[in-house]
């Protein structure tokens, strides 16, 4: 059975609502053969990442960046799951073909005013992991409305369906 790992930081009603909607999509009854594993970002491990076939990431945008919890997730798993560093010690270009290379991922980000920095930061890291972006990033700015929830449901469903 394929496994979709959902790593998130959902400390607010808005981010929790997006998580719930994404999970509803990923667990849609028409999608069979996919186990959905949900792990808070501060608890996710390299073993979780290595055991998954695809990833769905969720974070608030805090001060123009991803949450500290999601950053901790990447910091604590990056090298163990095949991330590459360049000669300067920065994230490599992903051409190393690590153990999770080419696996699909999706991302949702919620911010009050702007999510640009958070989206860019996550994109840089997953590029160095050589994960494959499988859906458009869901960028939600301001209130989480029905359209945002519908998009989150679609995002979760898309990622799960890709693993069948």
Contact criterion met (CB below 8 Å) for 69 and 42: yes
Q: Is the pLDDT of residue 91 over 90?
A: no
Segment 105-124, tens digit of pLDDT? 999 999 999 999 999 999 99
**143 CA to centre of own chain:** 21
Q: What is the domain range of residue 39?
A: 1-160
Which CATH number do you get for residue 72?
A: 3.40.50.360
What's the whole-model pTM score?
Answer: 0.91
How far apart (Å, rounded) are the C-alpha atoms in residues 125 and 72? 12
Q: Of the candidates 1, 2, 5, 21, which has an alpha carbon nearest to the alpha carbon of residue 110?
A: 21
24-56 tens-digit pLDDT: 999 999 999 999 999 999 999 999 999 999 999
* 82: confidence class by pLDDT, cuts 50, 70, 90: confident
Question: Helices 146-162 & 13-26, crossing angle to 10 degrees?
Answer: 40
- What total of structural domains would you count in the chain? 1
pLDDT tens digits along 1-12 = 999 999 999 999
């Amino acid at each position: 059975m394929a496994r979709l790992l959902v790593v998130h930081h959902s400390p607010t009603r808005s981010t929790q609502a997006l998580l719930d909607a994404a999970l509803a999509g990923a667990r849609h009854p028409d999608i069979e053969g996919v186990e959905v594993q949900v792990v808070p970002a501060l608890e996710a491990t390299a073993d979780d990442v290595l055991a998954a076939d695809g990833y769905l990431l969720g974070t608030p945008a805090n001060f123009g960046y991803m949450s500290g919890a999601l950053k901790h997730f990447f910091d604590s798993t990056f090298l163990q799951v095949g991330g590459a560093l360049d000669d300067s010690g920065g994230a490599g270009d992903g051409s190393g073909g690590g153990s999770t290379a080419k696996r699909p991922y999706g991302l949702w980000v919620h911010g009050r005013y702007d999510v640009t920095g958070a989206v860019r930061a996550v994109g840089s890291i997953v590029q160095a992991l050589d994960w494959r972006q499988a859906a458009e990033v869901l960028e939600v700015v301001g209130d989480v409305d029905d359209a945002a929830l519908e998009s989150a449901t679609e995002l979760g469903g898309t990622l799960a369906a890709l693993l069948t």
